[in-house]
């Protein structure tokens, strides 16, 4: 079988163990003689998967009492409107750190006064704004902890005078998080915890029910809390694979161990980017993402970008083209991306320098 060094930004590489379990469950789910995608979602076998998945989320992220974990459809993009619809009564603030943050802000504007509290648009979102003041009269403050396109990341759980809402689509489960600092965390599963099709939401229950507008049943978080994410048919296959991915995270030693792996992996690649005279990083050093590593060729070697792309492709690298708004290269090094793939990319950069530098 062909092995790819998969650096795709999302959907992305998943643990082999999760894929193997998924293949088995597609054929015969727990000895039922049926595929996991042929079962009733009201069966006790399926309900056990839902319960296990919820409990793994709580255990691995150390989620405190008073929070609920939901599995919904619609992607992180649907949460842009859910958040505003359920929580914005008068005024909300957004930290504008990229395209996803801007999309979230745009949705909120349809529900009330939504403002950009600080922005890094002046330098093409290559850094995380600092030293800004969060107004105390906000219903909530929304951040994007990892900016998938630009390779910047907020590395700490900030103190916030109002409800803190975080889009953690692309760095959830990559490090330990102090969930108690957040009122709500959401994301699409397809960057670090599973396949596309399921969206996770971790919500502090007592922040709900405070807005005066009518909430359609499907768009009210409380519906999904009351029905344990089974108000309607959940995306069963995606949840199954997410559950297996979380089992893998736990087996690796949980988030302390996974975080250490991610630091080591990102360190390998950033060291090479900084050492190699042909390449340079695009994100401010202190804000560099552990998940999405963005780099370009230095001025002197700019004309060699296409050549490096082909060179890397021939050596099995997949998905390293940078987003069109940044250019150059982006290596997404999510949890399941093995260190061997990073080493292969580093070797590729070294070899290319020897031949062309």
DSSP 8-class letter at 90? S
Catalytic entry in 46, 100, 248, 321? 100
Q: Among all residues, whose Cβ is closest to ligand PLP? A: 188
**Cα–Cα distance between 117 and 130 in angstroms, integer?**
11
Give yes or no: 167 in active site: yes
When asked if residue 77 is in the footprint of ligand PLP (CB under 6 A), the reply is: yes
Max distance between CA atoms of the chain, in angstroms, equals 65
Give the Cα separation of 41 and 234 in Å (integer). 8
Q: Which of 57, 171, 191, 204 is catalytic?
A: 191
Q: Please say if 46 is a catalytic residue.
A: no
Q: Is 296 helix (H, G, I), strand (E, B) or coil?
A: strand
C-beta closer to ligand PLP: residue 126 or 148: 148
Q: Which residues pair with 140 in a beta bridge?
A: 92, 163
Cα separation, 283 vs 323, in Å, equals: 14
Nearer to ligand PLP by C-beta: 278 or 333?
333
To the nearest 10 degrees (0 to 180), the angle between helices 75-87 and 99-109 is: 40
* Cβ atoms < 10 Å from Cβ of 170: 28
Q: Is 76 in the site for ligand PLP (CB under 6 A)?
A: yes
Total number of residues that touch ligand PLP (CB under 6 A): 12
Q: Least distance from C-beta 146 to ligand PLP, angstroms?
A: 6
Cβ 87 to ligand PLP, closest distance in Å? 17
Q: Which CB sits closer to ligand PLP, 22 or 193? A: 193
Tell which positions 208-237 bind ligand PLP, by CB under 6 A. Answer: none
Quote the Cα angle for 214-160-177, to 5°: 95
Instruction: Please identify which of the residues 167, 171, 220, 287 carries the catalytic annotation.
Output: 167
Mask for 153-192, x = binds ligand PLP (CB under 6 A):
--------------x-xx-----------------x--x-
Distance, in Å, from the CA atom of 75 to the CA atom of 198, rounded to the nearest integer, reads 7
Give least dist CB 154 to ligand PLP, A: 11
8 binds ligand PLP (CB under 6 A): no
Instruction: Give, as ranges, the residues between 88 and 117 that touch ligand PLP (CB under 6 A).
Output: 100
CA–CA distances in Å: residue 23 to residues 14, 17, 296: 13, 10, 38
Contact 56, 62 (CB under 8 A): no
Q: How far is the CB of 287 from ligand PLP (least distance, A)?
A: 15
Annotation says 303 is catalytic: no
For residue 86, the 8-state DSSP code is H
SS3 204: strand
- Beta carbon of residue 150, minimum distance to ligand PLP (angstroms, whole number): 10
Which residues does the annotation mark as catalytic? 100, 167, 191
User: Which residues are at the interface with ligand PLP (CB under 6 A)?
Assistant: 10, 75-77, 100, 144, 148, 167, 169-170, 188, 191
């Amino acid at each position: 079988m062909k092995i790819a060094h998969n650096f795709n930004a999302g959907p992305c590489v998943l643990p082999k163990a999760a894929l193997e379990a998924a293949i088995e469950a597609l054929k015969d789910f727990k000895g039922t003689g049926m595929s996991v995608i042929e079962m009733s979602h009201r069966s006790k076998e399926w309900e056990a998967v839902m319960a296990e998945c919820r409990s793994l989320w709580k255990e691995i992220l150390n989620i405190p009492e008073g929070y609920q974990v939901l599995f919904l459809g619609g992607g992180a993009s649907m949460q842009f409107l859910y958040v505003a619809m359920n929580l914005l009564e008068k005024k909300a603030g957004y930290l504008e750190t990229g395209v996803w943050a801007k999309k979230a802000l745009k949705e909120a504007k349809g529900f009330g006064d939504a403002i950009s509290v600080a922005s890094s648009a002046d330098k093409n979102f290559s850094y995380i704004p600092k030293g800004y003041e969060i107004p105390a009269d906000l219903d909530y403050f929304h951040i994007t902890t990892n900016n998938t396109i630009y390779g910047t990341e907020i590395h700490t759980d900030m103190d916030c005078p109002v409800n803190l809402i975080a889009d953690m689509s692309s760095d959830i489960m990559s490090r330990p998080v102090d969930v108690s600092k957040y009122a709500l965390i959401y994301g699409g599963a397809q960057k670090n915890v599973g396949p596309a099709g399921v969206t996770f939401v971790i919500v502090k229950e007592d922040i709900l029910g405070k807005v005066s507008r009518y909430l359609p049943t499907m768009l009210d978080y409380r519906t999904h809390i009351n029905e344990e994410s089974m108000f309607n048919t959940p995306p069963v296959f995606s949840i199954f694979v997410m559950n297996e991915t979380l089992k893998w995270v736990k087996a690796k030693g949980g988030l302390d161990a996974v975080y250490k792996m991610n630091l080591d992996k990102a360190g390998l690649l950033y060291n090479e980017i900084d050492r190699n005279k042909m390449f340079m990083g695009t994100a401010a050093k202190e804000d560099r993402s552990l998940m999405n590593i963005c780099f370009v060729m230095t001025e002197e070697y700019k004309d060699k970008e296409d050549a490096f792309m082909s060179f890397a492709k021939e050596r099995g690298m997949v998905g390293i083209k940078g987003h069109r708004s940044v250019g150059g290269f982006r290596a997404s090094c999510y949890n399941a991306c093995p260190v061997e793939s990073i080493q292969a990319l580093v070797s590729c950069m070294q070899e290319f320098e020897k031949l062309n530098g």
